[in-house]
Structure 1
């Protein structure tokens, strides 16, 4: 019984790793190339390594920005629209405070 559970856990882990690799192989490869080329540049100071460092660094930054925009702590577009719908009263109060007009209307 325990052996079967261990095998199923191994299979699910391998399946999840394959799915992760298929979705994120380019940023992982770019990060590896960036680290290796930076280390080689530190050892050799060869100008040839500028291109791999620039391209792989650019890819890593682009994927990081994409990941940040998709999974950020800031609200998404849908949440922003919902917040705008819900915040009309707050906006009215702020405008009312700043206008100092007792007959203010939206």
Structure 2
């Protein structure tokens, strides 16, 4: 069975990261289902959560994930964008990459506000 909306797991590796809420909101506004796991300490915890939640993509904030996750696109927010390796500077860039296009720009209110 295929999902109507992509499911994205957002984790904060190594401690709280305030960008996680912003990322979750942008992805939600782009029509994705967002599961925010919050801060986790180890790669193994991320892998277990991913197994339970069955996401289409995993967003890692605050660190680099060393564990390989099968059939899941892994991305992160970083200082320097490198989209070819799944590193983006802004939540909007992540949404564009995952959705394959944008319905609005970060400066425009979400569809819920309009």
Same fold judged by TM-score > 0.5?
no
TM-score between both structures, scaled by the size of structure 2: 0.19
Task: Name the structure with the higher strand share.
Answer: 2
Task: Name the structure with the higher helix share.
Answer: 1
TM-score between both structures, scaled by the size of structure 1: 0.20
